[in-house]
Amino acid sequence: MIRQQPDKPEYSERYLDDQFEYRYVVLPREMANELKNKGKLKEEEWRGMGITQSRGWEHYGFHKAEPHILLFKRPLGTDPKTGLVSDELFKQHELKAQEQREKFLSTLVM
């Protein structure tokens, strides 16, 4: 069975890792044609296209094989009403990210 293209944005379930929650949005292909050669979209841009989500989501890319699929993320612990992360959670995420960078860099040093 062939899946029909949506006539309005469709939203994935959220999935997460230890720092972020993610989701993707499938746009009608006609809408996606307007996005060719665009980089990351600002919140005003994607909301202006009719994409509705709670606060705090950041567009970080397009699906390479299917550019009508927009990729979004936001830090774990984001307040969906304000889009803000508590200072404590932000510090925890920053420390973890720094540890991961240092661990990765240590694998490069010979």
Q: How many CA atoms lie within 13 A of 108 on its CB side?
A: 6
Domain contains 58: yes
| 85 in any annotated domain | yes
Q: Is residue 5 part of a domain?
A: no
| Residues 31, 42 contacting (CB under 8 angstroms) | no
The answer as to whether 29 is a domain residue is yes
The whole domain housing 73 covers 10-108
CATH number of residue 27's parent domain: 3.30.170.10
Q: Is the pTM of the predicted complex or chain greater than 0.95?
A: no
- pLDDT tens for the 110 residues of the chain, in order: 545 666 789 999 999 988 899 999 999 878 877 777 778 999 999 999 899 999 999 999 998 888 889 999 999 889 999 999 888 877 887 888 888 888 888 888 65
Within a domain: residue 2? no
Number of domains in the chain: 1
pLDDT value, residue 6? 65
What pLDDT score was predicted for residue 78? Answer: 92
* Spatial distance between the Cα atoms of 57 and 88, rounded to a whole number of angstroms: 19
User: Does 53 map to a domain?
Assistant: yes
3-state secondary structure the chain: CCCCCCCCCEECCCEECCCEEEEEEECCHHHHHCCCCCCCCCHHHHHHCCCCCCCCCEEEEECCCCCCEEEEEEECCECCCCCCECHHHHHHHHHHHHHHHHHHHHHHCC
Q: What is the pLDDT of residue 4?
A: 60
